[in-house]
Amino acid sequence: MKSNDELICREFARIIGGQEGFAGGKCVATINRNELQAIILGKRFAVTSSFSFESRDKLNKQALCLGRVALLQKEVENFVASILKQGILVSSIHNEWLFDSPNLIYVNIESVDDPLVFAKKVRRALKD
């Protein structure tokens, strides 16, 4: 039988629209951005965004919720505005690659929240 956290992880990934993974008490949901034909140094690069939660409190159901979101430059402003409006912190905005095409921008987000509430906020921001 699956643990409650594993069941919550499955729902977390479903809400976000990603593939789930659960190991060592940490849940990760990964979204593939297959529509982006990214190239680094002349080679195809699989663009992914990942979201996780861990250290879930059994009483108040809150956990440390994190995200690393891969965006095109033109997508950053709307995503960040939506995330901030929903009370999620933006911890960094940066590029990771020098020779990528298109230029990818990564936004790291963090919050202490109910993982399923966090997932809904993220899904909303990704659609905005």
pLDDT, one tens digit for every residue, the chain (128 residues) = 367 888 999 999 999 999 999 877 799 999 999 999 999 999 999 999 999 999 888 889 899 999 999 999 999 999 999 999 999 999 999 999 989 999 999 999 999 999 999 999 999 999 97
Cα dist from 62 to 25, 79, 92, 114, 121, whole Å: 14, 23, 22, 4, 14
For position 93, what pLDDT does the model report?
98
For position 2, what pLDDT does the model report?
60
For position 57, what pLDDT does the model report?
87
Tally the C-alpha atoms within 13 A of residue 63's C-alpha that lie toward its C-beta.
25
